Amino acid sequence: MKVIDFVTRTDAGISQRGSVSVGDGVTVIPATRGQEISLNLRQTEIAGYARDGSNLIINLADGRVVVLDGYFAEESGAQSRLFISADGYLNEVTLIDGADGAVYAQYGPTEQWGKWSPDDDMIFLGGNEVVAAPADEEVSMLGAGLLAGGGLLGVGGAGAAGLAAAAAVGGGDSGGGGRARIEPVVNEDGVVTVAGDDVDDPSISITGRAEPGSEVVVTIGDEEIATEADDQGDWEVTFEDDTFPGDGTHPVVVVVTEPDGTETTLAGPDVVIDLTPPDIAVEDGTQAVGHVVNLVDHEDGVEISGSGEPGAGIVVVIDGVEAQTVVDDAGAWQVVFDPADLPGGEREAQVTITATDGFGNTTVVTDILEIDTVPHPISINAGAVGGDGVVNFDEAAGGVEITGSSTAGATVIVTVDGVSREVVTGADGTWRAVYEAGSLPGGEYDATVSASTVDVAGNASQTSATVRIDTEVREFDMQGNPGGADGVINAAEQGGGFSMTGQVEPGSSVVVAFAGSTVNAVVAANGSWTATFTGAQVPGGTYNADVVATATDAAGNSSEVRQAVAVDTEAGHLTLNAAAIGGDGVINAAEADAGVLVTGQADPGATVIVSLDGVEHTVRADQSGEWRSRYTSGEITRGVHEADVTARTVDAAGNETQVAGTVQVDTQVDNLSLEDLNLAIGADGRDVINNDVATGGFVVTGTIETGSQVFVTIDGVRHEAEVDGNGNWTARFGPNEIVSGERDADIRVDVTDPAGNTAFIEDTVRVDTFVNALDHAGPVTADNVLNIAEAGAGVTLTGQVEAGSSVRVEVFGRSYDAVVVPNGLWSVEVPGGDVPAQEGSVEMVVIATDWAGNTDRITESFAIDTVAPDTPGIVGYFRQGDGYRNATVETSEDDIGIHQVDAGGNVRELALGVQENSFTGETDYFFLDGAGRPASVPDGSQLVVSGTDPGGNASSTYVVLDETNTQVVDVTNPNLAGFNIETIDLRFGDQAELTLTEAQLRGLSGNSDQVVVQGGADDQVTITGAQAAGQTQIDGQTFDVYTLGNDATVVVDEDINTIT
């Protein structure tokens, strides 16, 4: 075998070359409409042609098969053409369909290479020498002879069958009068292939020759069929349906047993069968196997892999992008898509995977590619840690909270200097990690805070920030020598005061306290500090006191050092407890009323002169040295002021010692007010706690002395108010703290000023949190169904609501403000023009707002039927003598009524007997007298046949009967008003004449401004001034349409003589 070259050319002139390989059993070449295919073959190298559906099968002499896929396709376009070319010649192959799938080939005009031709690229200069499958010499020669001609070749099966038949012709004995024995033979040889998706009903036929009556058993694979040679010595078996062998390569074994018992075993062709689609499975990369393509996956290419039939071609298509591969010998396959071809993001894409084996069998599976390359956002609020991005000692002792943001529900790992916390991001996108006291090392350092998270797709996010940890005051000390060498401050030294010095962490502040005085030290840039107490800040007396220095660094950490100091500046001991007057150094109203006690210490038995706000008392110290002086209520001046208090004594040596102080007198509460309730304002201008206020919460404000304590109580709910530095107070009441209802609620403001004085103010406020009454009164109409007549008169809706409320009604897609009278009755008038033509249920929403601003709504529905029924269809009537016995009407679900219009124009309703014919779909209405007996309606009468639907809407047909006294149809009869006549039926009258004006037409029906006139060629309708407006079809009959005046319409049977 050798490679066979071929070339294909599209109808656009684009050529592509290929080849039929030596090892290919079946080669498929696409041959859609408009293709030209040239094979490098001679006629003798082709064993035959066959048709399989839309495909052309070419069987080569060496057993190979070429399939032109879609060659006979029936879609629109030019027919594909087949050529064979060798040795510089080009022949077109014309194919003719024969019976049972046979195809006949005829080789047409020849082109020769060397002179320019548009077919030059279709011509092959050499040949491929396709050699027929081995056979005896006689067969080969005869086969060549049979195939060499240029005429019509008939091929009913594989080419090898033709060769075998030729061999049979060439055999036989060389003389004699008897029939020679027929040597057993199998006609087919080479390779028979049945494979691919295009095989619908697979079958294999094996034929041959043997002595007539011979038993022939043919075996292919596991299947075996027995037959018998006919009288001509021919035999044939067909493997199909249940006898068709399974997939595989099977030798054909034929055992022939002749009538005389001679048994011959023959080897037929090899049969290659492959009708099984290739196996394919996705094992990685898609949603079905739980894979999500994350950012890392995407950056190095999107991979999809799996297993399948070795050698099968794999085509994977995603977003219109195609990737191909071949299943390797181990049954594995993989494709990789460039990241640029498949955009990232958060999305899903359809995956279509097609596996095609070497025989053209295909398997298609679909899956989803789930892509998520978007990691969670993540941030750290480093500046919020400790309130300012610095964690001091107190903050560390209370626990450190670190916050940030990410995707709701995301798990975040927060790490500070190796200490990690795992937290979950809340619904608001905020995460919080808490480091309890002791979990972070103390000291001064910059701590790195890192936060990381990984989404469900495996995308990682990480960020970091720096937080300052400062939990100590460094290098803090104090030195000083108050009182000189002996360490005691005496009277002479007291006036000069003293200084303290020391060292502290740069950037810190130092406050030094001694004997009730505080000094802010001056701190240099290098951390050295100095604090000086004046003589006035060193109290006289005999005592020991500590100098206490407190340092606060930039992070807010504090540290304290102490040094003891001795003071003795008095000839006698004397103290005054000014801060204890009134218990706290302030005399309030209650304390002034009760009187106050001024106390101190002196030498035992010493006389002490005490002065309070200018009032002097003289007392003596007891044996323990304590002295006391009570000032009565009358001795204390009321108001708000600072009162001086002094005590003095003289010791035995005549040294005078005096101590002085002040006491704050505050016996009144100032500036108490209730400014604004910040509530809703009712319709009458009053403050009110309505539903919005009660459920949303509210604040109450006022003023008071700075530093006071305020409690506000409303309706039993008590809250302490916030008081700012200017004395403005605000009390906050939360949602739903005020119980819903309608009542007057007490409000009380209780105040205690810094001195302990108390006061209060009281008021009331209205609580109204709901609309206490809202309803809709009764049905819209008597039957709660709004029909055309009721809608035309307008619709009145009423109900009851809380007095003082406003009401709005939403119905028919519109909104109406109701009229509400003082007792709460409300009403809405809906104009008839606002009511649409429709059938069904209508929803009505009533919305009320009471005086307090509360709203409520109710939703109700009522039925509406404002669509008129079709006019009754008149089938005919029964005439009896000089009258009419009954009328026949198309059966309807509507209620049918019939009125007689007598010759004088009087109208009366007829009693009816009803007989329905379900077969014809018609109903007979018999006219009855007062006793219920049949009675005729006299000549000269007309009929009005009315249909009334369940909503009470009626449409009528005016029936003009065959009358003898006049031909003129009178529709001006005032007694016809109210029948809603929309059809005038002239078909039963004789030469009826009808005249219509716009006013008459509009007066016929309240349902519409249109009338339909039925009749025939003997009738005449006059509608002066009408304009033709085309035609329409009613029940298959053509009607002419006329407009009359302003939107009035007359629809007239085209057979009627119409005058305009």
| Tens digit of each residue's pLDDT (9 = 90 or more) over 988-1003 | 888 889 999 988 888 8
Residue-number span of the structural domain to which 622 is assigned: 578-646
Question: Domain for residue 350, yes or no?
Answer: yes
What are the tokens at 54? 């839309």
Q: Express each pLDDT in 621-645 by its tens digit.
A: 999 999 999 999 999 998 888 989 9
Model confidence at 77, pLDDT cuts 50, 70, 90, reads low
User: What's the pLDDT tens digit per position in 361-386?
Assistant: 999 999 999 998 899 999 999 888 88
Model pLDDT, residue 611: 93
Q: 145 pLDDT exceeds 60?
A: no
Same domain, 1049 and 939: yes
> What is the reported pLDDT for 412?
95
Same structural domain for residues 730 and 799? no
Determine what percent of the chain is predicted with pLDDT higher than 90: 44
Tokens of 109: 């005009």
Summary mean pLDDT of the chain: 85
Which is more confident, 178 or 713? Answer: 713
Domain stop point among 646, 662, 690: 646
In this model, does residue 130 exceed pLDDT 80? Answer: no
Per residue in 432-470, pLDDT (tens digit) is 999 988 888 888 888 899 999 998 888 899 999 999 888
Both 900 and 1044 in a single domain?
Answer: yes
pLDDT in tens, 299-331: 899 999 999 999 889 999 999 999 999 999 999
pLDDT in the model for residue 490: 75
Same domain, residue pair 493 and 412: no
Q: Flag the least confident range among 88-97, 141-150, 540-549, 571-580.
A: 141-150
Say if residue 195 is in the same domain as residue 254. Answer: yes
On whether residue 401 sits in a domain, the answer given is yes
Q: Residue 135: which pLDDT band, with cuts at 50, 70 and 90?
A: very low
The answer to whether residue 659 sits within a structural domain is no
Q: Could you tell me the pLDDT band of residue 136, with boundaries at 50, 70 and 90?
A: very low
**DSSP secondary structure, 166-183, as one string:** HHHHH-S-SS-SSPPPPP
- Secondary structure in 3-state letters for 446-461: EEEEEEEEECCCCCEE
Backbone angles phi, psi at 485, to 5 degrees: -65, -35
Per-residue confidence (pLDDT) for residue 158, from 0 to 100 = 33
171, 199, 228 — which closes off a domain?
171
pLDDT of residue 418: 87
Does a structural domain hold residue 608?
yes
Is 90 a member of any domain? yes
- The predicted structure's pLDDT at residue 150: 31
470-524 pLDDT tens trace: 888 888 999 999 878 777 787 777 888 999 999 998 999 999 999 999 999 999 9
For residues 158 and 66, membership in a common domain is answered with: yes
**Residue 17 tokens, joined:** 């070359």
Tell me, what's the pLDDT at 407? 92
* Strands (E) located in 471-595: 477-479, 488-489, 498-503, 509-514, 517-520, 522-523, 528-533, 542-552, 558-568, 586-587
Residue with the larger pLDDT of the pair 466 and 176: 466
Distance CA 441, CA 448 (A): 13
The answer to whether residue 964 scores a pLDDT higher than 90 is: no
Does residue 110 surpass a pLDDT of 70? no
Residue 834 lies in a domain: yes
Q: Is there a single domain that holds both residue 787 and residue 822? A: yes
Residue 357 sits in the same domain as residue 432: no
pLDDT band at 138 (very low <50, low <70, confident <90, very high): very low
pLDDT 10s digits, 221-259: 999 999 999 999 999 999 999 999 998 999 999 999 999
Number of domains in the chain: 9
In this prediction, residues 890-910 reach a mean pLDDT of 89
Last residue of a domain, one of 799, 833, 865: 865
Residue 667 lies in a domain: no
Per-residue pLDDT band for 655 (boundaries 50, 70, 90) equals: low
Other CB atoms within 10 A of residue 349 CB: 19
Do 486 and 400 reside in the same domain of the chain? no
* Whether residue 837 is found in the same domain as residue 881: no
| pLDDT at residue 516, rounded to an integer | 92
Per-residue burial over 90-127, b if 16 or more Cβ lie within 10 Å, else e, is: bbbbeeeeeeeebbbbebeeebebeeeeebeebbbeeb
Cα separations in angstroms, 606 against 250, 784, 1001, 1031: 140, 106, 130, 134
Cα angle for residues 190, 195, 200 (degrees, 5° grid): 125
Is 316:304 a contact under the CB 8 Å cutoff? Answer: yes
Is residue 812 included in any domain, yes or no? Answer: yes
CATH of the domain at 260: 2.60.40.10
Q: Could you count the other beta carbons within 10 Å of the beta carbon of residue 203?
A: 12
Q: Based on the domain organization, do 811 and 956 belong to the same domain?
A: no
DSSP 627: E
Mean pLDDT, rounded, for 275-285:
92
Q: Which residues of 299-324 are buried (b: 16+ CB within 10 A; e: fewer)?
A: eebbebbbbbbbebbbbbbbeeeebe
* pLDDT above 60 for 111: no
Asked if the model's pLDDT at residue 212 lies above 90, the reply is yes
Stretch among 462-476, 707-721, 770-784, 825-839 having the lowest mean pLDDT: 770-784
**pLDDT for 544-580, tens place per residue?**
899 999 999 888 888 899 999 988 776 678 899 989 8
Same domain, 542 and 590: no
